[in-house]
Chains A and B, each alone.
Chain A
Amino acid sequence: MIINGVTIDLTFAEAFPMKATRAIITAQNEKWAMISAQAMTGFATSVIACGCEAGIERVLSPNETPDGRPGVAIMIYAMGGKGLAKQLETRAGQCVLTSPTSALFAGIAGGKPIPLGKNLRYFGDGFQIAKKIGGKRYWRVPVMDGEFLTEATTGMVDAVGGGNFLVLAESQPQALAACEAAIEEMKKIPNVIMPFPGGVVRSGSKVGSKYPALGASTNDAFCPTLKGMTKTDLSPEIESVMEIVIDGLSKEDIAKAMRVGIQAVCDLGAANGIKRISAGNYGGKLGPFHFHLQEIMA
């Protein structure tokens, strides 16, 4: 398949089941809601070493938030429920509770309830106050700038992590520009996050390493500087490869995000140095969710 001079490989992205939750952070203004959200979703690019994958889903207007203030929806994904709950609580405690004027609310109504502010309330040292409003339980924790208002729990749901596609370009600037265009469009899709810095990862990995202690190492087949030294997957004109990884609440959400992302890359086309779109998989052995690129773009 070729779109605007860009070859879509006959391959698939392989994704695996994860657990996910969403939280809504509000603040006095969007600036401080975003600061808190960025802190909470920081150092959360990959479950390999961060314990979770997290990202900002979108900015919320005051009429979309529970307390009528500007807000930001963030999502956190982890391999299991316990890990997710721990990451959520730790991050909420260190990054939202601490952030001036912030408040924290559940972003998923259904699913299994996991603690959001339920345990953070103990920071109140006995001065915390519970309030049940509209059937939901909230905690008011006294802090130095006033009160930290938080919902007791949020919902945890089954999700999909590791959807991806690779952008193969003639130069590094061209690969990055294409990925930026893709991320711009993918951010408009609900229920997904792209957890890597700016949504783009330049160090795609393969499973295993020559060093026994490492479970993953550089994806040498897609490293352009190794074209003559390894079993490469790159043609001579490819000088840079970048990857976009997507976590989503469902397979359909990821497929939708991949489609608009790949389309944005293809819109730039061969004229802008974009040669191929590929995807990362492990031969179909690791994850049950397969995103076939040509089917998605059909």
Chain B
Amino acid sequence: MSALTFTLKQPTDQRVDMSPLVCQKLQGLDVDAIAAIELQNGKSRPRVDELFYITGKNTQEIIIAGSTDKLDFIGKELDGGSISVLGNAGAYLGMQMKSGSINVSGDAGLYAACEMKNGLIQIDGNAGDFLGGALPGNKQGMKGGTVLVKGNVGQRAGDHMRRGQILIEGNAGDYCGSRMVAGTIAVMGSTGRYLGYAMRRGTLLLWNQPQLSATFNDCGSHTLAFLPMLFASFKSLDSRFADSSAAFNRVRRYGGDMAETWRGEVLVRR
């Protein structure tokens, strides 16, 4: 059975709420029923078949082709199955996702993987601000799972992050790991200002020396036993993180944020 494919007929002027088009909500529906689902598009509610050409039947394998950054909430609360986005994704990609996988061939907008609970999100391009963060006013961001970004990410990646891992092959913007509660963020490229701002616990694993605030204290260079195991767990990913040459176990450890509960750490490759 071929993948259920939604091909955007033409770019929309207004934003589209794609949250009804997730695997678990479409399971058991025939093509006519899926075509009749109404999507919020600005102030209007067009049917799915007014916006997309629909082909294929496998609701557990969804493809969104010709996607643009106007398509928000792709994979919201996804609970099993896979969604492939060919093109860019809008805001709130994989928000509160529970399991399954999402792959974006282009860029993702604001709040990708926000409050994600489990599963895998891979973004081949760049990601916007608040990757894996908490919705405004909420206290806990990403709570589990893995987010892999092959490009760069915006500001506040991992804001309020509680658990899980964010892997960034490119650069991270300012306030990376801000208000982090726990979990792991790994950045192969550079990081911006205010790294780990007000982080309480958790690990920021860096390939390059960051510009650290005065509230992070140098704990010296160390060989840490958990790092080889962490890198080994990346082996199945389609990523530079899976490359054994990317692995290391010797790091400089900085503790902080000392202005918060000072139990977080920044580990920089040595």
Taking Cβ atoms with an 8 Å cutoff, the residues of A that contact B are 66-69, 103, 126-127, 129-134, 138, 140, 146-147, 149
- Is A67 a contact partner of B223 (Cβ separation < 8 A)? no
Chain B residues packing against A (C-beta within 8 Å)? 144, 163-164, 182, 184, 201, 203, 222-226, 228-230, 232-233, 263, 265
A132 contact set on B, CB distance < 8 A: 144, 163-164
Residues from chain B with a CB closer than 8 A to the CB of A66 are: 229
Given contact pairs A126-B263, A131-B184, A132-B163, A149 touches B203 in the complex (Cβ within 8 A): no
A134 contact set on B, CB distance < 8 A? 229, 232-233
- Asked if residues B226 and A146 are in contact (CB atoms below 8 Å), the reply is no
| CB atoms of A146 and B222 under 8 A apart | yes
Q: Which A residues lie within 8 Å of B201 (CB)?
A: 129
Say yes or no: A146 contacts B229, CB within 8 Å. Answer: no
Residue in B203, B226, B265 whose CB lies within 8 Å of A138: B226
Complex Cα distance, B141 from A235, in Å, reads: 77
Question: Are A147's CB and B233's CB within 8 A?
Answer: no
Residue pair A67, B233 in contact (C-beta under 8 Å)? no
Contact of A146 among B163, B182, B223 (CB under 8 A): B223
The closest CB in chain A to the CB of B201 belongs to A129
Interface contacts (Cβ under 8 Å), in number, total 44
> Is B226 in contact with A133, judged by CB distance below 8 angstroms?
yes
Given B222, B224, B229, which contacts A133 in the complex, CB threshold below 8 Å? B229
Interchain CA distance A138-B233 in the complex, whole Å: 13
What is the CA–CA distance of A66 and B232 in the complex, to the nearest angstrom? Answer: 9
Residue of B nearest to A126 (CB): B263
- Asked if B228 contacts A68 (CB within 8 A), the reply is yes
Q: Nearest chain B CB to A265's CB is how many angstroms away?
A: 43
Point out the residues of chain B lying under 8 angstroms from A130, CB to CB: 182
- The contact sample of 29 A-B pairs, CB cut-off 8 A, is A67-B226, A67-B228, A67-B229, A68-B228, A68-B232, A69-B225, A126-B263, A127-B263, A129-B201, A129-B263, A129-B265, A131-B184, A131-B230, A132-B163, A132-B164, A133-B226, A133-B229, A133-B230, A133-B233, A134-B233, A138-B226, A138-B229, A140-B224, A140-B226, A146-B222, A146-B223, A147-B224, A147-B225, A149-B226
Interfacial chain B residues near A68, Cβ < 8 Å = 228, 232
Among B184, B226, B228, B263, point to the contact of A147 (Cβ < 8 A).
B226
For B118, give the chain A residue with the smallest CB separation.
A135
- Sorted from nearest, which 4 A-B pairs have the closest CB atoms? A134-B233, A149-B225, A133-B233, A133-B229
Distance, CA A132 to CA B230, complexed state (A): 9
Alpha-carbon distance A67/B233, docked complex (angstroms): 11
- Within the complex, the shortest CB–CB distance from A127 to chain B, in Å, comes to 7
Q: Cβ of B222 and Cβ of A131 under 8 Å apart? A: no
Apart from A132-B144, A147-B222, A149-B226, what are 19 other A-B pairs with CB-CB below 8 Å? A67-B225, A67-B229, A69-B225, A127-B263, A129-B201, A129-B203, A131-B203, A132-B163, A132-B164, A133-B230, A134-B229, A134-B233, A140-B224, A140-B226, A146-B222, A146-B223, A146-B224, A146-B225, A147-B224
Contacts of B265 in A (CB 8 A): 129
Identify which of B164, B225, B229, B263 gathers the most chain A CB atoms within 10 Å of its CB. B225
Query: Which residues of B sit under 8 angstroms from A67, Cβ to Cβ?
Result: 225-226, 228-229
Chain A CB count within 10 A is highest, among B203, B226, B265, for: B226
Query: What residues of chain A lie closer than 8 Å to B182, measured between beta carbons?
Result: 130
- Given the complex of chains A and B, what is the CA–CA distance between A146 and B233 in angstroms? 22
Q: What are the residues of chain A within 8 A of B164 when measuring CB–CB?
A: 132
CA of A130 to CA of B201, assembled, Å: 9
A133→B228 CA distance, assembly (Å): 11
Q: Which residues of A contact B203 (CB under 8 A)?
A: 129, 131
Shortest distance between the CB of B248 and any CB in chain A (Å):
14
Instruction: Write the nearest CB–CB distance from B218 to chain A, whole angstroms.
Output: 15
Residue of A whose beta carbon sits closest to that of B261: A126
* Distance in angstroms between the alpha carbons of A146 and B228 in the assembled complex: 15
Q: Which residues of A sit under 8 angstroms from B233, Cβ to Cβ? A: 133-134
Separation in Å of the B4 CB from the closest CB of chain A? 29
Closest-CB distance, B82 to chain A (whole angstroms): 19
CA distance A140 to B144 in the complex (A): 19
Most buried by A among B203, B229, B230, B233: B229
- Chain A residues with Cβ below 8 Å from B223 are 146
C-alpha gap A146/B225 in the complex (Å) = 9
Question: Which residue of chain B is the closest to A102 with respect to CB atoms?
Answer: B225
Q: How far is the CB of B54 from chain A (nearest CB, A)?
A: 36
Query: In the complex, which residue of chain B has the Cβ closest to the Cβ of A140?
Result: B226
Determine the residue in chain A with the shortest Cβ distance to B165: A132
